[in-house]
């Protein structure tokens, strides 16, 4: 079994969920998160483009300065960009199709498209039934 963790743009979540459901993988955990990559959080214009024009400027989320940056003198405030993190545990033989689907759905060619991490899982247990490993993640 493998754990797939994908960090993607917020506006791509519905499309990603639909694409994964269509290939038979509707189960996932979704979390809101913030982070920064090579662009160092400089993505205000791209983030605003994710929001419909009908939203007033006050509603649009801006990157938030880190606590460290606010408490220390830095030449530039370190900004974090809001993203969504999808986590799935899947059988080993399904990893490639899931990763390819996530890439196809989220790849725009622009900075901030996201990251995908694949990690081994030693064991899984379904609490309700006591099923273990692959039976527990189906």
Could you tell me which CATH number the domain at 2-137 has? 3.30.70.120
Domain boundaries defined on the chain: 2-137
Cα distances from 98 to residues 16, 23, 64, 82, 94, in angstroms, run 10, 8, 31, 23, 6
Q: What is the pLDDT of residues 61-90, one digit of tens each?
A: 555 566 666 666 655 556 788 999 999 999
Residues 6+ apart with CB under 8 A from 92: 1, 2
% the chain with pLDDT above 70: 71
**Residue whose C-alpha is closest to residue 7's, from 118, 115, 117, 119:** 115
C-alpha to C-alpha distance for 101 and 95, rounded to whole angstroms: 10
- The answer, yes or no, to whether residue 60 has pLDDT greater than 80, is no
Quick one: pLDDT band at residue 3, thresholds 50, 70, 90? very high
Cα distances from 40 to residues 37, 77, 116, 120, 137, in angstroms, run 5, 10, 18, 29, 36
pTM for the whole thing? 0.73
Higher local confidence (pLDDT), 9 or 54: 9
């Amino acid at each position: 079994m493998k754990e797939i963790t994908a960090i993607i743009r917020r506006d791509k979540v519905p499309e990603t969920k639909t694409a994964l459901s269509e290939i038979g993988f509707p189960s996932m955990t979704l979390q809101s998160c913030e982070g920064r990559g090579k662009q160092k959080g400089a993505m205000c214009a791209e983030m605003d483009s994710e929001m419909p024009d009908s939203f007033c400027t006050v509603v649009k989320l801006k990157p938030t300065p880190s606590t460290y940056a606010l408490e220390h003198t830095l030449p530039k405030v370190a900004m974090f960009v809001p993203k969504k993190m999808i986590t799935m545990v899947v059988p080993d033989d399904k990893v490639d199709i899931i990763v390819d689907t996530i890439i196809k759905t989220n790849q725009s060619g622009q900075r901030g498209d996201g990251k995908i991490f694949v990690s081994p899982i030693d064991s899984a247990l379904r609490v309700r039934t006591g099923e273990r490993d692959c039976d527990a993640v189906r």
